[in-house]
């Protein structure tokens, strides 16, 4: 085989390789687009955030500022605060923890009124929404009540310049749904601004074109 024929053969193979790659990516995009749309309505009754290690809590005691404090839940799940040192917080809802603190403080303070607010969430994986792939800042976010796809995408800074947003996929409970994030974020098409559930994962592929 002379050099001209060799170059022609190599160029032809390269062309075929690019065509095959393009076809594979096209099929992948079609596969994502052929998924059913994400549910526009979800059922999540009586959802309550469960405190976990790493969370930051504000403990407020009405008319007792000396007993109010901001504390972080330790790795062992416990907190140290005035009159409640070493109390377990992880695994309890804020309301349940407030009731437990109120019970402990009642030994020293008459009829304490206690509130617990989670000011910095960490959350268990089952209470997070994960955004992976070609987001500006891929990360896991603590689920918040009535959280939507747009809320999550704003929190991660939107898509990166190489994202194929319209081929994104929502994974929920082992099922996959199509998400058109490019339409949502760049063209304001709100049909894909669907509600999220704890444990959801949004996968954003990268575009090669």
Structural contact between residues 132 and 200, judged by C-beta atoms closer than 8 angstroms? no
| Three-class DSSP category at 140 | strand
Residue whose C-alpha is closest to residue 105's, from 59, 139, 71: 59
The pLDDT value recorded for residue 142 is 84
Question: Average pLDDT per run of 10 along the chain, which is 209 residues long?
Answer: 41 39 42 78 78 93 94 95 94 94 94 92 82 94 89 95 94 94 93 93 88
What whole-number distance in Å separates Cα of residue 141 and Cα of residue 201?
Answer: 10
Say how far residue 17 (Cα) sits from the centre of its chain: 37
Q: Which H or E run includes 119?
A: strand 114-120
Closest listed residue to residue 128, CA positions, set 139, 142, 144:
142
List of domains in the chain:
3-43+125-204 (3.10.560.10), 56-120 (3.30.1950.10)
Q: DSSP H helical segments within the chain, as ranges?
A: 3-33, 94-105, 149-155, 181-187
Residue pLDDT, tens place only, 171-208: 998 999 999 999 999 999 999 999 999 999 999 999 87
Q: CA–CA separation, 29 vs 156, rounded Å? A: 23
Separation CA 52–CA 67 (nearest Å): 22
91: left (phi over 0), alpha (psi -120 to 50) or beta: left
71 in Cβ contact with 145 (< 8 Å): no
pLDDT at 137: 95
Contacts 24+ apart (CB under 8 A), 77-80: 77/52, 77/53
Q: pTM, whole model, 2 decimals?
A: 0.65
pLDDT of the residue at 67: 94
Query: What local confidence, expressed as pLDDT, does residue 31 receive?
Result: 53
As a whole number of angstroms, the distance between CA 175 and CA 171 comes to 6
So what's the pLDDT on residue 185? 94
């Amino acid at each position: 085989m002379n050099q001209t024929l060799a170059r022609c053969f190599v160029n032809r193979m390269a062309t075929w390789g690019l065509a095959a790659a393009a076809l594979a990516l096209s099929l992948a995009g079609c596969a994502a687009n052929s998924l059913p749309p994400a549910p526009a309505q979800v059922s999540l009754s009586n959802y309550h955030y469960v405190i976990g290690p790493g969370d930051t809590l504000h403990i407020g005691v009405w008319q007792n500022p000396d007993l109010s404090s901001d504390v972080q839940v330790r790795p062992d799940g416990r907190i140290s605060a005035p009159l409640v040192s070493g109390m377990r917080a992880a695994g309890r809802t804020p309301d349940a923890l407030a009731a437990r603190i109120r019970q402990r403080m009642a030994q020293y303070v008459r009829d304490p009124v206690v509130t617990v607010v989670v000011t910095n969430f960490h959350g268990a994986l089952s209470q997070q929404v994960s955004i992976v792939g070609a987001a500006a800042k891929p990360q896991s976010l603590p689920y918040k009540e009535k959280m939507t796809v747009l809320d999550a995408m704003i929190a991660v800074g939107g898509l990166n310049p190489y994202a194929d947003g319209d081929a994104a996929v929502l994974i929920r409970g082992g099922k996959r749904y199509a998400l058109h994030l490019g339409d949502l974020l760049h063209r304001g098409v709100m049909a894909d601004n669907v509600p999220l559930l704890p444990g959801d994962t949004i996968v954003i592929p990268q575009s090669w074109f």
